[in-house]
Chain A
Amino acid sequence: MKTAQAGTLESSDIMITLSPQEPGDGVKIDIDSNVLHQYGEAIQAVIASTLAEAGVKDVWVKAVDRGALDYTIKARLLTALDRARRAA
């Protein structure tokens, strides 16, 4: 895997950057959002479960959210993952 990103900073979207980590480092998720207060945990949960489903164990996810809905978050994350794997 290589560092990759997907999404935009436009309203209702999310920009996700993924960086592979050393085996054993685990999953680190940093979220910046204009709705962090209300939805921070929900965004975190979508990202964590999507990573788990995709079998990704050691990765640093940086997400800048601009009010994206769950399926947008999932779609952007999967695209970033796909790019990260293809780049390897």
Chain B
Amino acid sequence: MSWHGFEERSIDLARADEVEAVRAFLARFDLSFDASVDYTVALYQGRTMVATGSMAGEVLRNIAVAADMQGEGLTARVVSHLIQEAGARGIFHHFIYTKPDAAHLFSALGFKEIARAEPYAALLESGLGSIAEHCKMLAAQVADLPPGPRAVLVVNCNPFTLGHRAVIEKAARENASVVVLVVEEDRSLFPYADRLRLVKEGVADLTNVRVLPGGKYVISAATFPAYFTRGEEITKAQTRLDAEVFGRHIAPALGATRRYVGSEPYCAVTATYNDAMLAVLPRYGIEMLVMPRIEVEAAPVSASRVRELIRQDGWDEIAKLVPETTYRYLRAPETAAVIERIKTSQSRH
């Protein structure tokens, strides 16, 4: 298709030369091309690339327009193209993650700002569904919890250990009620459905604790791609943005004024995330409590240690680190495929 002398062409992500052209174009804007995208489009004037944009799931990213072509409506062309392509894939809600000084370009296209972390990043959304509707649903899901101080934990639990149990138990003792949000993004070695089930089973006896899906606004590919892509440079930006979304929207919807986290001696990204929350959450009146990890035989209990022990078949050791419910799951015949995947995977997640 060609209007106004511009031609839209989708990039063949399997072809190194086409990907390289996009990479070189983005480099002019200090943007890096993330190979995990599902789809990329570029606009050309003759043979010259003048604009590009990509999407990964419902996240639109890497949108850039050549400096001498700005004001020609090319951003609208790129975003329209991506939204149409998303629609063909059944995706009708979109996030844009951008620099705060570019946010207005997308506001003009109907995107609403969810949060920003100056000077690093802003997160916007458009389409069917919004954070306001999500928050309404969250509020309804905790409406029957006892009144009084309420705490939140956001957990991945890959898988659920006695360490997670200890932090949740402490929060349940110190507050009238506790909401546990389980990260929904399915990029960990243990599937989301299993992680959620193990948390529910592991705290079933704590009557003032409610376990809920984390949803797409809590440590998701939208709020927090660095957690999954490990770009060290952008980790600070994204941890702050995620903390902003939590402080501004999620915590108020849940009626929570405290967030509990376990201390993180091993994972740099999680440690940076904890720092970001300490910097951001108090501004929203949310107290952040860091709890030291519990130890078994002088070593901190952690899910990554459990995964390491799975690779070594250290089942006696594992039994000391996880509750009965998790241990039974790990040994169940229907979990064999997951266990096999962990043994052959080098992933730390």
Determine if B108 and A10 form an interchain contact, defined as CB atoms under 8 angstroms apart. no
Q: Beyond A10-B73, A10-B77, A62-B127, is A5–B110 a contact (Cβ under 8 Å)?
A: no
B332 at the A interface (CB under 8 A): no
Q: How far is the CA of A52 from the CA of B108 in the complex (A)?
A: 30
* Least CB distance, B124 to chain A, in whole angstroms: 12
Closest chain B residue to A33, Cβ basis: B110
Determine if A8 and B127 form an interchain contact, defined as CB atoms under 8 angstroms apart. no
Query: How many residue pairs, one in A and one in B, have C-beta atoms under 8 Å apart?
Result: 43
Q: Beyond A10-B76, A62-B128, is A3–B110 a contact (Cβ under 8 Å)?
A: no
Provide the residues of chain B in CB contact with A8, threshold 8 Å: 76-77, 80, 84
Q: How far is the CA of A60 from the CA of B130 in the complex (A)?
A: 14
Provide the residues of chain B in CB contact with A10, threshold 8 Å: 73, 76-77, 80
* Least CB distance, A82 to chain B, in whole angstroms: 14
Q: How far is the CA of A3 from the CA of B91 in the complex (A)?
A: 9
Determine if B76 and A5 form an interchain contact, defined as CB atoms under 8 angstroms apart. no
B126 at the A interface (CB under 8 A): yes
* Least CB distance, B229 to chain A, in whole angstroms: 28
How would residues 1 to 13 of chain A score, 1 for a CB under 8 Å from any chain B CB and 0 otherwise? 0011100111100
Q: How far is the CA of A33 from the CA of B80 in the complex (A)?
A: 15
Number of interface residues of B (CB under 8 A): 16
Determine if B80 and A3 form an interchain contact, defined as CB atoms under 8 angstroms apart. no
Most B C-beta atoms less than 10 A away, residue of A9, A10, A11, A64 = A9
* Least CB distance, A45 to chain B, in whole angstroms: 20
* Least CB distance, B88 to chain A, in whole angstroms: 9
Determine if A9 and B79 form an interchain contact, defined as CB atoms under 8 angstroms apart. yes
How would residues 75 to 95 of chain B score, 1 for a CB under 8 Å from any chain A CB and 0 otherwise? 011011001100100101000
Q: How far is the CA of A59 from the CA of B23 in the complex (A)?
A: 42
* B106-138 interface with A by 8 A CB criterion: 108-110, 126-128
Determine if A19 and B92 form an interchain contact, defined as CB atoms under 8 angstroms apart. yes
* Least CB distance, B85 to chain A, in whole angstroms: 11
Q: How far is the CA of A40 from the CA of B128 in the complex (A)?
A: 19
Determine if A17 and B76 form an interchain contact, defined as CB atoms under 8 angstroms apart. no
Provide the residues of chain B in CB contact with A9, threshold 8 Å: 76, 79-80, 83, 109-110
* A1-56 interface with B by 8 A CB criterion: 3-5, 8-11, 15, 17, 19, 32, 34
Provide the residues of chain B in CB contact with A34, threshold 8 Å: 108
Most B C-beta atoms less than 10 A away, residue of A4, A19, A34, A64 = A64
Determine if B73 and A5 form an interchain contact, defined as CB atoms under 8 angstroms apart. no
Q: How far is the CA of A19 from the CA of B126 in the complex (A)?
A: 14
Q: How far is the CA of A15 from the CA of B110 in the complex (A)?
A: 10
Provide the residues of chain A in CB contact with B84, threshold 8 Å: 5, 8
A66 at the B interface (CB under 8 A): yes
Determine if A64 and B110 form an interchain contact, defined as CB atoms under 8 angstroms apart. yes
Provide the residues of chain A in CB contact with B79, threshold 8 Å: 9
Q: Which of A5, A11, A32, A66 contacts B87 (CB 8 A)?
A: A5
**Can you report 10 residue pairs joining A to B where beta carbons are below 8 Å apart?**
A3-B90, A3-B128, A9-B109, A9-B110, A11-B76, A17-B87, A19-B92, A34-B108, A64-B110, A66-B109
Other 11 A-B pairs with CB < 8 A, given A9-B110, A11-B73, A64-B126: A3-B90, A5-B92, A8-B84, A9-B79, A10-B73, A15-B110, A17-B127, A34-B108, A60-B128, A62-B128, A66-B76
Interface of B with A (CB < 8 Å)? 73, 76-77, 79-80, 83-84, 87, 90, 92, 108-110, 126-128
Query: Which 7 residue pairs of A and B lie closest in terms of their CB atoms, listed nearest first?
Result: A64-B110, A8-B80, A32-B110, A9-B109, A9-B76, A9-B80, A5-B87
